[in-house]
Amino acid sequence: MILRPGRFHAGAFFVLLAAYLAAPLPARASYSDVPPPLALPVPVAPAPDFVPLPIPGLALAAPLVVPTFSFRSEFQAEYPTEPWLNDRLRRPSFVLQRGEYGGSGFKVLAEMGDLRLKETGNTLQEARGRGGRFSLLTGNAGNRATFKTFATSGALHPGPEDTLVGATGELSLLDDSALFKTIFVSGRSSLDREGRWPTAGAKRGDVVGFVARLEPVRGKLAAEAEYDYSVYDANTAAPGSALRDSACRLKMTGDWGRSRYTALYEKTGPRYRLMGDGPERDREGGTFGVATAFVLHDLDVRLSRYNDNTEKDPLNPRLYRYEGVVDYKFKGFKMLPLALQYRKTFIDSTNEPVGYAPKDVAEDAMSGQVNLLAGRWDLGLRGGVTQRTDRIKQQRELSSASVGLFPKFSAGNFTLFPDLSMKRINDYAADQRTDQYAVNLGVTGNLLEKRLDYEVKGGFKKESTGVGTGREVLGAKVKALYPLAGLFKWTRSPSLGIKGEFNGINNLTEDRRENDFSLLISLDGGSFL
């Protein structure tokens, strides 16, 4: 770029000369007797003071692209389907305010309100709390980087003294062919009702997880590995009470033709604990499954082997559990789908301490279900048998048989679903037989041009363990909701709700009866929020 001094720009002269030479001859000269029309002068923008000069071997730079920025805001609110059951009638059950700002190659997301948090099963299975979350996303050309952080209260237990904070970082490469993720979650819950942590102490749990996922062949082969480490302190005021342990997981999936394969290995230490729900502790094992889909048949086979006492504690035995499951579905008749399942289980023990009897149990279970789809009717029939045998004593421990009929009728705004079931359980070790019978009837629908929603359910269940023993249960429930005409343009119109319940228990063994019923009529005036 060379600066040309003076009022006339050399670049403009070269541009005009090139345009004149490139024009065809009739445009440059006319020999007609009629003079050409007078052309109005076209305003030309002043030429810049910097004129690009092409240099051999060096390409001109592309014009500068000005990035575009955008901002978007969103507000969400959900109200309970049965407002008369909610103590806070004038408050929605879910509120979330979101703001999103995006630019060239990045996006920023901020959320505040009721958050739904979910990571992996070993770090944070699922939690809901009120707080805020901040996310930053950036990337291009199939690569993406994400950073998230959140802070909530009430996710572990209701109350502001319980907090849950965390942060995650994720890196995705080559259109999710390789993914790496780091997770950190920390929770704290006060042991005192007033939340005075320095005096009463608190429960605290921290967990950090590392996840790597590789998919070298898209949709055909994928591998995922996870390692987690947790620190859990049941009382921060007591020294030396923290528990530390780790968990790991390795999973591989793949497709081959009509089949899909799944292999999983997982191990969780005996002291691995989280503030919320976590995986089963002191457990190690794996599963392997193959699912195949044909035109008329579906077949799913799963094999698993797990054991407890991963650190071989001499005071406890080690139990091994082997299980195989076969699921079969027949799709030859659209009006008559059929499903069958067979499960075989073995449980045995090793390294038994003194005074512990060895255990060797085998269990067989078979169940099936068939549905007859005839217009508005759906007639379902389900049944199953189970038998457990002690292979050391060579005798049966337990057996059960059940059968159930589950019809369903749907017609427009009306649905009827009765059911009848029977089950018999024989406990040979205790020499006891238990018979169970259950009859239920339910009706749902709406009336008055779909304005009145109602639901009516009732049932009777009897459990007999012998002559004059057992119990009988009778229950009924009715619900109805009718929206009223609003006097103002509220976001949620007022409604009239009715809810009634009745439960009666007749304990034949103790010759005692218990009855309770309730009837609630609620007039909800709506809300401006």
More confident residue, 501 or 105: 501
Cα gap 347→319, rounded to integer Å: 7
**Whole-Å CA distances, 219 to 177, 250, 294:** 10, 18, 19
With cut-offs at 50, 70 and 90, classify the pLDDT of residue 154. Answer: confident
* 44 phi, psi to nearest 5 deg: -115, 135
Pairing of strands 106-117, 94-103: antiparallel
Say yes or no to pLDDT of 86 above 70. Answer: no
In this structure, the chain runs to a length of: 529
Percentage above 70 pLDDT, the chain: 79
Residue labelled with tokens 């909530």: 152
pLDDT tens per residue across span 190-224: 877 554 545 567 889 999 999 999 998 887 899 99
Cα gap 347→355, rounded to integer Å: 19
pLDDT tens per residue across span 225-234: 999 999 999 8
**Which of helix, strand or coil describes residue 318?**
strand
- Closest to 506 measured CA to CA, from 463, 471, 479: 471
pLDDT tens per residue across span 304-338: 999 999 999 999 999 999 999 999 999 999 899 99
Cα gap 345→508, rounded to integer Å: 36
Burial label, 199 (beta-carbon count in 10 A; 0-12, 13-18, 19+): exposed
* Token pair of 79 as six digits: 């109200």
More confident residue, 62 or 329: 329
Give the chain's mean pLDDT. Answer: 82
Say yes or no to pLDDT of 525 above 80. Answer: no
Q: What is the pLDDT of residue 159?
A: 63
295: Cβ–Cβ under 8 A, 6 or more apart, which residues? 331
With cut-offs at 50, 70 and 90, classify the pLDDT of residue 521. Answer: confident
Give the mean model confidence (pLDDT) for residues 440-446: 92
Beta-carbon count within 10 A of 412 CB:
9
Is 0.85 topped by the overall pTM? no
Burial label, 206 (beta-carbon count in 10 A; 0-12, 13-18, 19+): buried
